[in-house]
A and B are shown apart, each in its own frame.
Chain A
Amino acid sequence: MTAMRVDAKVVMLGKESVGKTSLVERYVHRRFLVGPYQNTIGAAFVAKALNVGEKVITLGIWDTAGSERYEAMSRIYYRGARAAIVCYDLTDSSSFGRARFWVKELQNCEEHCKIYLCGTKSDLIEADRSTRQVDYHDVQDFADEIGAQHFETSSKTGKNVDEVFQKVAEDFSSCALEFMQEEKGVDLGQKKDSYFDNCCHN
Chain B
Amino acid sequence: MSQRSERRGIHVDQSELLCKKGCGYYGNAAWQGLCSKCWRDEYQKARQRQIQDDWALAEKLQREEEAAYVSSHSSSQTQPPQSHSQHSLATFSKFEEKKTNEKTRKVTTVKKFFSPSSRTAPKKVPPEKEREKEKEEKLPGRRESHGENLLRDLKGIFTQPWEMSSPTEALVSRLRESHEAKTPSPSITRQSSIETDRVSRDFVEFLKTLHKPGREIHKHSRAFIDSMGNKKQDLSAEELSECVQDFYQGMSDRLLNHFKGSSEKVDRVMDQVEKYIMTRLYKSVFCPETSDDEKKDLATQHRIRALHWVTIQMLCVPVEEEIPEVSDSVVKAITDIIEMDSKRVPRDKLACITSCSKHIFNAIRVTKNEPASADDFLPTLIYIVLKANPPRLQSNIQYITRFCNPSRLMTGEDGYYFTNLCCAVAFIEKLDAQSLNLSPEDFERYMSGQASPRRQDDPAGWPQSGSRVNPVLTQIQHNLSVLSSLEKRQQQVIEGAQSLEAELTEWQESVAREVQEILERYPLDIKPRASAIDAENVENDRLPPPLQPQVFAG
A residues neighboring B (CB under 8 Å) = 1, 3-9, 16, 20-21, 25, 40-45, 47, 60, 62-67, 69-70, 72-73, 76-77, 79-80, 187, 191, 194-196, 198-202
Contacts and interface: CB of A to CB of B under 8 A. Distances in A.
**Most B Cβ at <10 Å: residue of A3, A16, A65:** A65
Contact of B411 (A9, A40, A42): A9
B416 A44 contact: yes
A153 B376 CA distance: 24
Contacts of B435: 69
At the interface, is chain B mostly helix, strand, loop or mixed?
helix
Given A6-B411, A41-B365, A21 B373 contact: yes
A3 B435 CA distance: 33
Given A5-B267, A76-B422, A21 B159 contact: no
B371 A42 contact: yes
A4 to B, nearest CB: 7
Interface string B402-439: 00000010111111110110110011001000010000
Contacts of A20: 374
Contact of A41 (B246, B371, B378, B412): B371
Contacts of A42: 361, 364-365, 371-373, 377
A191 B411 contact: no
B375 interface: yes
Given A73-B426, A196-B253, A3 B414 contact: yes
B328 to A, nearest CB: 15
B194 to A, nearest CB: 24
Interface string B146-162: 00000100111111111
Given A191-B250, A195-B157, A62 B372 contact: no
A1 B151 CA distance: 34
A66 B377 CA distance: 12
B351 A76 contact: no
Contacts of A66: 374-375
9 contacts: A3-B412, A5-B264, A41-B358, A41-B365, A41-B372, A45-B416, A60-B412, A60-B413, A194-B154
Task: Sort A-B residue pairs by CB-CB distance and give the 7 closest, nearest first.
Answer: A195-B158, A196-B250, A63-B374, A45-B416, A21-B373, A42-B361, A6-B411
A195 B411 contact: no
Given A4-B412, A60-B412, A76 B423 contact: yes
A4 B258 contact: no
B485 interface: no
B283 interface: no
Contacts of A4: 412-413
Interface string B250-263: 10011000100001
